[in-house]
Amino acid sequence: METQPVVVGVDLGATSLRAGVFTPQGQLLTVDQAEIQAEQGSEKGVRRITQLIERLVAGVPGARLQGVGVGTTGPADALTGVLINPGTLPGWVNVPIAARLQERFGVPACLENDGDAAVLGEYWMGAGQGVSRLYMVTLGTGIGTAFVVEGRLYRGAGGFHPEGGHQVIDPDGPPCYCGARGCWESLASGTAIAKRAREALADSHNPLAQNSILRGEAERIDARDVVEAARAGDALAQQIIEQAADYFGMGLFNLLMLFFPDMILLSGGVMRNLDLFMPAIQGWVEKSQPYLPSGQVKIAPAKLGYYAGIYGAAYAILQRVNPPG
């Protein structure tokens, strides 16, 4: 039988595990997911990962596995392939995931932060193909940032992943779990939007809150409810979204001025409502134009959605097996 060289990309999240088998040219041959059940500990978790990979590779006729890449919720040490102690996977302390996979499959394995994996995926097969300086911002429960320069991940000191979501936007802003105040993600993330809505609804002196369709729902409100209410014409929700969009644009402006990327890709749950954020984003982009002429930077939605992580993890291990130029 003819053999087919393949690599596997794995996306390890707090609740779900996804893996895909790819050709070196970037064709996704098969993909599946499983529950990670993180609370059962890292031993069982690693076994779930290897079982999912075994099952997927066995389903590809003639597959010859060349490597396994994993994108994970951080912090992760990309140079040693060790998952350090992610808040989202409690009890998973210093798990040498890359070494374990290498041992099990007898091929190179690597570990990347999930934001880094996502931008690599978009560079390889998504909305940022071939873009020299590709920045990506993921706006979900938090804000993640990642940067690819000439096809290579920008790595910080020690190989660590820079945390653009914790740039300070307002020193008088709300406290963030990182220890600072008014971080980008504490002002513009989905979590921040929901929190601001709950606070506003609890304020009996706020006339918009008294007339809001969200009134009475305060306890279980999430960012999606606020977005939907804004679309339905609710003045309080519109005010909250406009403010979050303005903060979001402010953070993008900082990144724009620091890096002058060719393209900024936007992804994550909130970006499914990009139209609500775009006027504020455009306003901030225009402020950069004395320095960065119009049209030099493109701001666009990412393309691969939930699959960006597996594409990028696969590309990360391909780059290590066959280093680019």
- Decide: helix, strand or coil at residue 117: helix
Q: Which CB, 189 or 319, lies closer to Zn ion?
A: 189
- Give the number of other Cβ atoms within 10 Å of residue 106's Cβ: 8
Letters for 112-151 (x = contact with Zn ion by CB under 5 A, - = none) are: ----------------------------------------
Tokens of 274: 């990009």
The footprint of Zn ion on this chain (CB under 5 A) covers a number of residues equal to 5
Q: How far apart are the first and last CA of the chain?
A: 32
Q: Which CB, 23 or 88, lies closer to Zn ion?
A: 88
263 lies in the site for Zn ion, by CB under 5 A? no
Among 18, 48, 161, 166, binds Zn ion (CB under 5 A): 166
Which region, judged by CB under 5 A, interacts with Zn ion, from 66-74, 152-160, 173-181, 315-323? 173-181
| Rounded least distance, CB 211 to Zn ion, Å | 33
Which region, judged by CB under 5 A, interacts with Zn ion, from 29-37, 158-166, 212-220, 246-254? 158-166
Q: Would you call the peptide bond into 301 cis, given omega within 30 degrees of 0 as the criterion?
A: no
176 lies in the site for Zn ion, by CB under 5 A? yes
Bridge partner residues of 106 (DSSP): none
| Rounded least distance, CB 185 to Zn ion, Å | 6
Task: Look at residues 30, 55, 6 and name the one whose alpha carbon lies nearest to residue 321.
Answer: 6
Q: Which CB, 81 or 144, lies closer to Zn ion?
A: 144
Q: Are 90 and 38 in contact (CB under 8 A)?
A: yes
183 lies in the site for Zn ion, by CB under 5 A? yes
- Give the number of other Cβ atoms within 10 Å of residue 282's Cβ: 11
Among 58, 178, 232, 258, binds Zn ion (CB under 5 A): 178
Q: How far apart are CA 192 and CA 140, in angstroms?
A: 10
CA 286 to chain centre: 26
CA distances from 74 to 220, 230, 246 (A): 27, 33, 27
- Decide: helix, strand or coil at residue 111: strand
| Rounded least distance, CB 143 to Zn ion, Å | 9
Which region, judged by CB under 5 A, interacts with Zn ion, from 87-95, 161-169, 209-217, 280-288? 161-169
| Rounded least distance, CB 50 to Zn ion, Å | 35
Q: Binding residues for Zn ion, per CB under 5 A?
A: 166, 176, 178, 180, 183
